[in-house]
């Protein structure tokens, strides 16, 4: 579900967020239209609006865990967690967390990867939201869901700044709702 379909249709903040995202053609390989959120982070208003929209959504849902996927989920997750009174749990790439971890492997377009979380970071029954910058195939979000569910947390929703309108990745989330703010932008042609 996109924010515009959930009571924010016509909200000028969504257009500002979308415009703040830079599109880099053919990065990291030919044919990819990379959605660069670092320009959103440079725009104080767009960054604040992004966090505010997520906070408004999750403030009254009884969320006790905001889990951010490395690395871009780390930009938004801590601010959201602080604002709603939840803890922030980083979901990291292998060998980045000290101490005992649990791991969840997942398949990428060209290979595999893994997410890890500290054992004990999430308690059974806690309500969690997972934050990332973009959903495409849903593989990373699916691994994050499995990781939290293995610790017996209830994943209430996955949230991304950018979601694909065809949402092919939604099918990999096993019924977990997906909330996205904006669709990917195409490169703007000039002249």
Burial class (CB in 10 A: 0-12, 13-18, 19+), 74: middle
Of 156, 111, 105, 160, give the one whose Cα is nearest residue 131: 160
Task: Tell me if the domain spanning 3-182 has CATH number 3.40.640.10.
Answer: no
Spell out the per-residue pLDDT of the chain, length 191, in tens: 888 888 899 999 999 999 999 999 999 889 888 999 999 999 999 999 999 999 999 999 999 999 999 999 999 999 999 999 999 999 999 999 999 999 999 987 677 899 999 999 999 999 999 999 998 788 899 999 999 999 999 999 999 999 976 656 566 788 999 999 999 987 654 43
Query: What was the pLDDT predicted at 189?
Result: 45
* Contact (Cβ atoms closer than 8 angstroms) between residue 28 and residue 35: no
Query: What was the pLDDT predicted at 190?
Result: 40
DSSP label of 93: -
- Residue ranges of domains in the chain: 3-182
Token pair listed for 76: 């938004």
Query: What was the pLDDT predicted at 122?
Result: 98
Query: What was the pLDDT predicted at 1?
Result: 85
Residue labelled with tokens 């803890």: 87
What distance in Å separates the CA atoms of residue 42 and residue 188, rounded to the nearest whole number?
Answer: 20
φ and ψ at residue 135, rounded to 5 degrees: -115, 130
Q: How many CA atoms lie within 13 A of 30 on its CB side?
A: 0
Query: What was the pLDDT predicted at 191?
Result: 32
pTM: 0.93
Alpha carbon 170 to its chain's center: 13
Token pair listed for 43: 């725009």
Residue labelled with tokens 């979901």: 91
What distance in Å separates the CA atoms of residue 46 and residue 43, rounded to the nearest whole number?
Answer: 5
């Amino acid at each position: 579900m996109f924010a515009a379909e959930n009571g924010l249709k016509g909200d000028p903040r969504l257009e500002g967020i979308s415009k703040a995202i830079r599109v880099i053609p053919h990065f990291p390989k030919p044919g990819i239209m990379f959605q660069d959120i670092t320009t959103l982070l440079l725009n104080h208003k767009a960054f604040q609006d992004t966090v505010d929209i997520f906070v408004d959504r999750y403030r009254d849902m009884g969320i006790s865990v905001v889990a951010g996927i490395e690395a871009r989920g780390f930009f938004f997750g801590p601010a959201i967690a602080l604002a709603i009174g939840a803890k922030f749990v980083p979901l990291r790439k292998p060998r980045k967390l000290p101490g005992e971890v649990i791991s969840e492997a997942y398949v990428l377009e060209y290979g595999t990867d893994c997410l890890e979380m500290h054992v004990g970071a999430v308690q059974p029954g806690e309500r969690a939201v997972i934050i990332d910058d973009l959903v495409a195939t849903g593989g990373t979000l699916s691994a994050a869901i499995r990781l939290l569910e293995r610790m017996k947390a209830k994943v209430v929703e996955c949230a991304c700044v950018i979601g694909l309108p065809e949402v092919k990745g939604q099918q990999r989330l096993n019924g977990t709702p997906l909330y996205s703010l904006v669709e990917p932008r195409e490169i703007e042609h000039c002249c």
